[in-house]
Structure formats: structure tokens, C-alpha cells
Amino acid sequence: MNTAPTADDLRNKLVDAIVKTRPLPTRIEAAMRTVRRDQHVPGIDLETTYSDRAISIKDNPNGPLPLSLASVPSVVAMMLDQLDAQPGHNVLEVGAGTGYNAALLSELVGSTGHVTTVDIDPGVALYARQALNRTGYGHVTVIERDGLLGAEENGPYDRIIAAVGLWDIPPAWWTQLKDGGRLVLPLRWRGQTRSAALTRHGNTLTSDSLELCGFVPIIGQDGEHTTRLAGDTVRLHHDHDQHIDPTLLDPAFDGQATEAWSATEVASTEPFDGMWLHTTATDDRVCRIEVTTEALDAGIRRPAIPIRTPALVDGNSAAYMIFDKTKATPGHALLGAAGYGPHGADLAHQLTQYINTWGTHRDLAPSLTIHHSVSPGPMPAGGHAIRKNDTLMILTLPGSTPNGS
């Protein structure tokens, strides 16, 4: 007689799959086998709850993205690994969600540590509070508050982790993170999001890990803009320091694309977002292109990933990454670029050069240093600067040359 798998069965099966792909420290693996995700997302069937996917818990009436999500479990595990919370640590979480991540953090810091989680939405904060009470983590502090303000009353913190996308690091977090403490956050620049693990040294944060991720953006930061083109079938997502004039660029998409092809192939399961990260360390023209279903169906746009593909934009011209499986060896795709506008061919060629540079050094990742705006410090040799409102980011790719401001 067949019996349905229990929550414990499914939870252990999920953790088994996660550690097979990414081995975890024993303590993090044990926490993920202990905390019951199904008790933090009630009303969802067990198979869905213990799949490696995000689960929406509150819709956003003002936008397409949910207001709050239960994050993808493998991403939760990755970020906990980056954070390295230890017994006795005082931890701040920004973005309470379902309370699941706070429960995991509580397991990691133990009875001698403490976890504070904050959320700007009263309904989400209440949900997290009730779930934590229900699951035996009533000692976790839940605060309804703008996460950009942190929680000074319970600081300073050994660790701060954000479960929402940040475009910049808020000033309050600098004062609330201990010197030598670690900050892990989904940091957004040039259209991409990376989970950055950073250690504070005075007025400087230095990275030792940059992992691909995606999170709902925090409320209250406006450094990212969206420019709509070609009858809103093409959207460019870019930073406020990237000056994109739609009146100049829109006509470019009326013409035919000019294609250029690199010498770089990727396997069908191999990610190529590393090229995006590489290119942001050398070129200020990088942004994200998104095309609508209408544009795809008409066959007039075909970026590598319709909703998030790296692009170069310069004045009245643009180019974005494409791929073609018919031009590559079996099981692979050849990467290239499609250019639009008077200088589209040049931009497409430049993009293929970036692709080839990454293709030759796929394991080479830039380091990230973030300076508090009050004390930016000296510019490192070879560093590429990106100025935010409150911080100065320096990306350093070994062997690169300065090209920032």
C-alpha cells in the first residue's frame, strides 16, 4: 500500500537535493532539516511547499511583483552560508516574509544569540510574528518598520542579512553593523542582482562572494529606472547615472538588427550571467533589456532571456546578447549580439568581445569594495567605480584597467 510522503520526508528530500548541488556547513544543513517550511506557508500543498521555488504570500496592488515572498530554499541556504552566523551572534534580518528565514537564523545563533527581523508591511510583519510564535520561535523579535532604518534599539549586530533587493546600502546599516561584522544582501546594479557577502572594515565593506539571485526590491529606493521603447514592447532597466534618452533610442528599434557572433559556446545547462557581472566591472553602458511576449511572438526581438538579458546602450544605439543552438556543437549554444541603431554593429561587436573575454576566464570573478560616502578612501588600481546615492562601489576584475568615474 502506497502512503503519501510526510512533510519530514519531503523536507529531507529537498535538503538532500540542495546539498547535492551546493554542500552546506553541517549547522546550516541541520537547521534546514529542522525548521518546518510548511508551518510558515499554511494553505500550500506539501509538494509545492517543499519544492525549490519561491511562494508568494502577499500580492502587490501597485505592481507586477509580489509584495512579499517565501524565498527559494536553495537561495536561502546559499545566503545563510554566505552570512556565516555563529552561536551567540546578534543578527538583524530585513524583510520578515513568512518568518521562515528568521527561524533558521534562530537555530544558527542558538539560545545565546538573538534575531531581530523587520518588515515595512504591517500584514507581513504580523504574519511572521504569528508563524514564529506557532513554530516555537517566539523569542525572535519582529518589528514593523521601514527596513532602510534597521533596528538600532537591538544593535549593534554581528550579522545583517536582507531578504529584499537593495540598490544601495542605507546609512543606518553602517552604524548598526559591528566592525568586522558581515552583511549579506541582494545588491542591484546595472540591471542585475547579486547576493553580496561583505565584511565591514571601518567605512569600507569588502566582498568575498557574489552569487546570482533575484529578490523583490525594497520599498523606498529609487536608483533604478525603466525606459520603455518600441511601443512598450522593449524595456530597459538601468541605474540613475545612466542617461538614456528614449527620443534618441526609440527609432533604433524600427530598423533591422545587425548580428555579431562570438567564439564562445555554453552548454545547455550552463549559466552565462557571469558575463554580465564581468562587463559591469569595465563598462558603464551595461543595463538589462526586457522584451514583451508580443515582441517575441512577432520574431522581431530575441534576447537570450526575454525578461533579463544584458545590453549595451550608447546614445541612439543598443545591442543585447543572443544565442543560436544551430551554430554550436550539439548540446551547446553559441553566444552573440544583436545591434540596433547607427552604431548598433559596433556595440554588437563590443558585446561579443566581452563575451569572449568572459568565455576565456569563466571562473574569474570581480571583487567588490563598497565605501561609505562620508569616507570613500583611495581608488584601487584597476578598479571600476559606480556611484550610488550613499556609497561608492568599486569593482575590480583581475587584469582589468580603470574605466570608471
Residues pairing with 48 in the sheet: none
Peptide bond into 156 cis (omega under 30): yes
H-type alpha helices, 268-335: 273-280, 293-297
CB atoms within 10 A of CB 62: 8
Hunting for cell 510574528 — which residue is that?
129
To 10 degrees, what angle do helices 73-83 and 100-109 make? 30
3-class SS at 78? helix
Active site residue 56: no
- Give the residues across from 141 on adjacent strands: 116
C-alpha distances (whole Å) from 119 to each of 1, 11, 107, 151, 396 are 46, 26, 20, 11, 33
Handedness of CA 54, 59, 65, 68 (dihedral sign): negative
Catalytic residue, chosen from 51, 56, 68, 71, is 71
Q: What whole-number distance in Å separates Cα of residue 374 and Cα of residue 95? A: 27
Long-range contacts of the stretch 83-86 (C-beta < 8 A, 24+): 83/159, 83/161, 83/182, 83/184, 83/197, 84/159, 84/182, 85/109, 85/113, 85/158, 85/159, 86/113, 86/158
Catalytic residues: 71
